[in-house]
Amino acid sequence: MLVVHGVWAGEGLAFWAEQPARAAGGPGRHPFAAPVPALREALGVDGGDEPELALLLPGTAKEPMPSPETGRPATATRPRLRVWRVPAVVPPVSAALRVVDACDGSATVRHWAAAAGFARDLVRRGRVVPRLVAAPGGACRAVWEPVVTRGDAAYFRELALAMPPASRTSEVERPSGEVLWEALGAFTDALVREALPEPLVERAVTARERWLAALTGPDGSCPDVPGLREELDRWRETVVSAEGAARVCFRLVEPVEEDEADRDLDAGWRVELALQGVEDPSLYVPAVRVWRGEPVAGVPAAERELLAGLGRAVRLYPELERALRVAEPGELVLDTAGAFGFLREAAPLLQAAGFGVLLPRWAGRNRLGLKVTARSKDPGAVAGQGLGLRELVGFRVDLAVAGETIGEEELAELARLKVPLVRVRGRWVELDERQLAAALRVVGGERAGEAPAADLLRQVVRGDGELPLLEVDADGVLGDLLSGEAERRLRPIGTPAGIDATLRPYQERGLAWLSFLSELGLGGILADDMGLGKTITTLALLVHEGTGPTLLVCPMSLLGNWQREAARFAPGLRVYTHHGPGRDPALIAGADLVLTTYGTAQRDLEALREVSWRRVVCDEAQAIKNSGTLQARAVRAIPAAQRLALTGTPVENHLAELWSIMEFANQGLLGTRAGFRERFQEPIEARQDEEAAHALRRATGPFILRRVKTDKSVISDLPEKLEIKEWCPLTTEQASLYQAVVDDMLGKIDGSEGIERRGLVLATVAKLKQVCNHPAHLLKDGSRLAGRSGKLQRLEQLAEEILAEGEKALVFTQYTEFGAMLQPYLARRLDRPVLWLHGGLPKKARDRLVDRFQEDGEPMLFLLSLRAAGVGLNLTAASHVVHVDRWWNPAVEDQATDRAFRIGQRKNVQVRKLICAGTLEERVDELMERKKALAERVVGTGEDWLTDLSTRELREVFRLTSEAVA
């Protein structure tokens, strides 16, 4: 397995890789650098340059030191920096961004992934400006440049300081800030161009129009326009200099509630002008108080700040000029049309430019929409081979607002008023001309009739169009799907004759559900807990249907598992593994089940698209959670009659991951990514909108089957999982280091916001967790381990007890470098085998370690990297699981535990979580126990993020208490 590294090479992000075996090369060449063909295969990229880079790396005259991710021991005792040459690939910037998103490489790749995330956040918040810059040879380029000010500037500095030295290249070392700024500019420009596929002008004639046209598309070349260039530079300077301790804020105030009979009065709206704290938005001072001379905390010249901000804002919101005609402007009075214009146009523009905007709670929520009633023509009909969704159903469409039906007379009254904001039964509703025209077309058109159930299903789930779909009342197959009661439609299916096992009852229900979706021509997500047997359930479906070949795509680490499980449980299936240098597409035709990896599917896409697949299955489907990656796009491009996704965590971090997996399973069913983000993701993630969460559960529920092991109604024959929390004290050295980190970082966090704050919190918690593990883990100085860590001392005691009882244990750490420190130390101290599995091991080595642990009767420890071994492995020989350090996402931690606590386990499994008392680890544990997560509200998994905590809560989390030290 290759360890990929990323280096900024001036014109783009270059990638090179270390391989396990020595490579042929002359003096000065890195002896373990992978050749370009192997590198391209690992990256999955075509095109781009292939330079030879000169890197300054530590090592000896014989060879450079291996990176920690390789797992190879370092032999140098006194390493020195030397120049080593490596073959590299520099793909286009857009392709490089996809690589760093998808690649689990070295620290350098992770750093560039953080930089790419920073660029995406800047673009999302509109923190970019267009510029015209000189290019070599006297030409010019139209570029999008990031605007990094205030909190973003602090995060930029942190990111630059955290840049690994190996991220920048060559004999002449450049400052990290200079390298990061160059890369951030390239990332930002590529991301904006990707988001603007259409040209800004259709026909570019003048030089300025050619500049506008050059802001889209791959080539930014354009002629120089000196006046325009100077004007754009002044604009950028104005934007950068506009960042202060306070900002101008605009608050839309609705009219005082009036009688329904007077709702057509076109008056009473106003925009209140104020100053708002940048770092403390709760500091809100109306302009009238500023003009009275009241002091504003932290703003020495409040009047000047207010006037300067209003002067900048009027360029974006010309209507504001009316309020500025008086000496001391305090508000802008608007009619209803003006208020609607502020809501729809001015507010987003002002907010994107950095101004504060406060809107009423109903803004964007109460909308005019549709209610659909559907009745099956033959409710008793049995669906088969898609018949259920092809049948005609009778339907009726009504208009509704906030759950209440609107009649024709009431709609006619709204049309007569011709105002975009109206009060309907006590609620303010946004109603623009486009929506009103659409509503009138609904009333005047065909409001009832017959249509295929599939068409109505897509409309219900997507809910896009000019009028959103607010409510559905349906019966039959369609009603069962949308109500979450499809299980009553399932025909019981016992264990198929070709399966060499007996399915458990919940697995039989899972098989019936998969078969039900298959008959309807729909895809699905089997999201059962790890260890509940998604593999055997899928194999049973293949045996049960027995028609057409199935392509199964999985991570490379699971190929062997699928081969063994298919041979064991479905020996009658003809299985072909399409992977490796000897793969032959001609052999696919003779197989019932074709196994391949995500990387191979991407490389052999054209050959796989030629096959008439009955089904495409993605195992560990979180591998396609980023919809823009090459492998996600590749598996979506393979045509099949049905698509299934298998994953225990359909949502790990963001709802966009659920959209990506659903887009694979049922393409187009959830609409476009932009529409999904607007309708579901932003309301749920940013505002915790329960209505949107309910709508998403209704939309996705028919296509997700989720069961958990701890539910005794699902499975009752697993042994017990006993979870024990082990409280470990800090040594005096650990406590001193811990307090030093807290003192250094809390002040920075206090003065930060947005992505900068998120980055500081993550960095602080990572450092504190390393201190809790061991001082040498934080310091990375190669110092001794014995006697310096309370957690390590408890791990040794537990290991001795487990081994003395003749048993085996899994020991998980999320830090590869800490695992590399622990393995030789524990092996010496315990005088027992301590196996070590991490991401740098090739598949054969991983398989050998797993086989030895499962088959060798000798008591031993299996030390595992959580990221590399948290999924896909069957390690039921272990009756103990120890989590040395805690993970951000409890779902990921539970998946790791499930390597032992799964079907096939015959003994009780003791799970121990090592926690340093009196530190953030104790309080993180309390938070993980009591807080509900985003995914749990939507599809039933769990996670939590410390970055959501307030500064006050973070202070409490980081606090070191007296019980921490032994």
Range list of H helices, 299-346: 302-316, 336-341
Buried b (16+ CB within 10 A) or exposed e, 773-787: bbbbbbeeeeeebee
Q: Please tell me the least confidently modeled range out of 225-229, 240-244, 721-725.
A: 240-244
Q: Is the pTM of this model over 0.85?
A: no
Token pair in block for residue 951: 């500064």
Q: 673 or 196: which carries more pLDDT confidence? A: 673
Asked whether residue 136 carries a pLDDT value surpassing 70, the answer given is: no
pLDDT on residue 260: 47
H or E element: which one contains 830?
helix 816-830
pLDDT on residue 605: 93
Contact 162, 118 (CB under 8 A): no
Count of CB atoms within 10 A of residue 41's CB? 15
Contact 577, 508 (CB under 8 A): no
Q: How far is CA 574 from CA 219, 280, 364, 546, in A?
A: 50, 64, 55, 11
- The pLDDT confidence band at residue 779, using thresholds 50, 70 and 90, is confident
924 contact partners, CB below 8 Å, separation of at least 6: 765, 886, 946, 957
Q: How far is CA 11 from CA 7, 78, 98, 176, 224, in A?
A: 11, 34, 17, 16, 22
The Cα 963–Cα 966 span in angstroms is 7
Asked whether residue 243 carries a pLDDT value surpassing 60, the answer given is: no
Token pair in block for residue 200: 């800004």
In terms of average pLDDT, the best of 151-165, 402-416, 451-465, 681-695 is 151-165
| pLDDT 10s digits, 546-604 | 878 999 998 876 777 788 789 889 999 999 999 888 899 999 989 999 999 998 999 99
Q: Please tell me the least confidently modeled range out of 8-12, 283-287, 832-836.
A: 8-12
Which domains does the chain show, CATH number per domain?
Answer: 1-91 (no CATH), 106-238 (no CATH), 246-358 (no CATH), 368-486 (no CATH), 490-705 (3.40.50.10810), 721-964 (3.40.50.300)
Place of tokens 């063909």: 37
Percentage of the chain exceeding pLDDT 70: 76
| pLDDT 10s digits, 444-488 | 555 666 766 667 676 666 555 566 666 677 776 676 666 556 666
DSSP bridge partners of 477: none
pLDDT on residue 576: 94
The Cα 864–Cα 849 span in angstroms is 11
| pLDDT 10s digits, 504-547 | 888 998 999 898 888 878 899 998 876 678 889 999 999 998 87
Percentage of the chain exceeding pLDDT 90: 14
Q: 41 or 441: which carries more pLDDT confidence? A: 41
pLDDT on residue 720: 66
pLDDT on residue 885: 87
Cα separation of the two ends of the chain:
43
| DSSP code string of 547-584 | -S-EEEEE-GGGHHHHHHHHHHH-TTS-EEE--STT--
pLDDT on residue 595: 94
pLDDT on residue 526: 93
Mean pLDDT, all residues of the chain: 79
In terms of average pLDDT, the best of 406-410, 772-776, 854-858 is 772-776
pLDDT on residue 549: 93
| CA-based radius of gyration for the chain | 30
Asked whether residue 265 carries a pLDDT value surpassing 60, the answer given is: no
Of 603, 604, 670, 611, the closest CA to residue 640 belongs to 611
Phi first, then psi, for residue 441 (nearest 5°) are -65, -40
Asked whether residue 617 carries a pLDDT value surpassing 60, the answer given is: yes
